[in-house]
Amino acid sequence: MGVLENKYLKFIKSVDLFSWDVKSYFVNQWVFNEKNPLVLFGEFLSKYETTKINIEDDKIYKILWVRTYWEGVFINRTVKWSSLKMRKYQLADKNTLFWCKVDTKNWWFGVVKDEQIWWLWSTNMFFAKIDTQKINKDYLQILFKSSKIHSYMDQYVTWTTNRKYIKPDQLLNEIKIPLPSLLEEQNKIVENYNKKLKEAKEAEKRVEFLEKEIESYLMEELGIEIEEERKKKKGLQLINFNNIQEWSIEKMLENSFISSNKYDLSKFQDICKKITDWTHQTPTYTTKEKGITFISSKDVTTKEINWKNIKYIPKSLHMKISKNFNPEIWDIFLAKNWTTWVAAILEDEKEFAIYVSLAHISPIRKIVNPYFLLDYINSKFAKFQFDRNLVWVWVPNLHLSKIRWAKIPLPPLKIQEKIVKHIFGLKEEIKELKNLAENLKESAKKEFEEEIFSK
């Protein structure tokens, strides 16, 4: 009988039974390791009435919000008084936690940072005061970046149509989290986590530097000059016929243009066999086994074609919409909808289809090195021209005609190859640094979770 009792019956102390809910008790046992005691939010949080202010005329206000999934508080917008619909707001205070009254669907919780004190919150927010003698507020913020804590807290939410929320009394008096007893232990956990994040940020800063270095190198090697505002002239102005893109006075006398003091400018259409897009039809999708790879703008945002998280269309549809689509190795695919105009190059022979959100650019290789063109397209010098010619029809869209008329300083192939080789070295270092930063972030998260959660 003793064996049966141990196998089928579980005994807990009444002081540990915070809710008459068997499922929630066992979830706690499965989620958290036994190293740290479980503590009610109410042990270190208390209800807090914030100071409310009336919006005054002729003033500018910073409105705070919180990123989803506990990613922290940020400035959502800086606005003039006249654009605010509500006339009363709450002042943020130090050492406070806040969350949305009407919806915590994506875990909109955040700890107010010291530099955000006295900025404004909507009155749709709950606030709680954090006792920093009992908990390190950074520990609290880090804890709730974990998807495991989201799953754990989901059992406590109240659901309505498409919304979920946690009431203050429920948070304070029903929900427990693992909390090392000593502040010194919490501080050490936070310190180890932040150390890795600091190293990751240093790697990311180096990435930013190298990306600017690529721009500077291109500008120097190609003799690029960008004049933001053409000097106003009186009287008759003459324009070279070759530079006319459209029969429009506005376009002919645009305030922005690009030039080179080293090389002649060539239009993209003069150095490419093809600049086109393909199906405008919203496709139907199928499984990998039954379909053909289908890529769109989302699959090139890293400046490389991402073949991992892709969709598939039926083979019959592929035959119909891609009848004349014959991509070659070293063709370029430019994202031209909803993006910052990022391009990637095809490096392997593959059968696939593309959506209208991608422009298919096929360089004439005896004139232009495909990687040289790719580096230029991904630089600010091409984006400068693309942005100038952006068309809005529901979504920002870069028309093919604007891509064809974009200009590039075109040195001899040997110089192009030298430029490509130098930039390739910088891009390889950038790739390594990005991987390092991601690994450091993942390592910080993993080590933190090992301290808190069961394996």
SS3 (DSSP) at 100: strand
pLDDT of residue 275: 94
Say what the alpha-carbon torsion angle 258, 262, 264, 266 is, to the nearest 10 degrees.
-60
Q: pLDDT digit string (tens) for 105-137?
A: 555 678 888 888 878 877 777 889 999 999 999
pLDDT of residue 4: 47
Query: Residue 11 — very low, low, confident or very high, per pLDDT cuts 50/70/90?
Result: low
DSSP code, position 253: T
- The fraction of the chain above a pLDDT of 90, given in percent, is 40
* pLDDT higher than 90, residue 266: yes
- Higher pLDDT: 165 or 270? It is 270
Query: Residue 354 — very low, low, confident or very high, per pLDDT cuts 50/70/90?
Result: confident
Q: Which of 136-145, 199-208, 305-314, 354-363 has the highest mean pLDDT?
A: 199-208
The answer to whether 453 touches 148, Cβ cutoff 8 Å, is yes
Average pLDDT over the chain, rounded to whole? Answer: 82
pLDDT of residue 91: 83
pLDDT of residue 249: 45
Mean pLDDT of 383-389: 80
pLDDT of residue 231: 45
Q: What's the number of CA atoms in the CB half-sphere (13 Å) around residue 30?
A: 9
Mean pLDDT of 400-413: 93
DSSP code, position 56: P
pLDDT of residue 68: 59
Q: pLDDT digit string (tens) for 31-54?
A: 777 888 989 999 999 988 878 888
Q: pLDDT digit string (tens) for 202-240?
A: 999 999 999 999 999 999 999 998 765 444 444 555 555
pLDDT of residue 1: 44
pLDDT of residue 318: 84
The answer to whether 73 touches 110, Cβ cutoff 8 Å, is yes
Distance between CA 439 and CA 455 in Å, rounded? 20
SS3 (DSSP) at 105: coil
* pLDDT higher than 70, residue 247: no
Q: pLDDT digit string (tens) for 335-349?
A: 987 667 899 999 999
Locate all alpha helices (DSSP H) within 232-284, ordered by sequence.
249-252, 268-271
* pLDDT higher than 70, residue 281: yes
pTM of the model: 0.76
pLDDT of residue 2: 45
Cross-strand bridge partners of residue 441: none
pLDDT of residue 371: 97
* pLDDT higher than 90, residue 362: yes
Domains belonging to the chain, first-starting first, are: 22-181 (3.90.220.20), 216-231+241-431 (3.90.220.20)
Distance between CA 95 and CA 89 in Å, rounded? 19
In single-letter form, the type of residue at position 393 comes to V
Mean pLDDT of 353-372: 93
* pLDDT higher than 60, residue 23: no
Query: Residue 322 — very low, low, confident or very high, per pLDDT cuts 50/70/90?
Result: confident
Mean pLDDT of 141-160: 78
Distance between CA 1 and CA 4 in Å, rounded? 5
The region that residue 254 occupies, defined by phi over 0 for left and psi between -120 and 50 for alpha, beta otherwise, is beta
Distance between CA 342 and CA 383 in Å, rounded? 9
Q: pLDDT digit string (tens) for 58-69?
A: 888 888 777 655
pLDDT of residue 228: 56
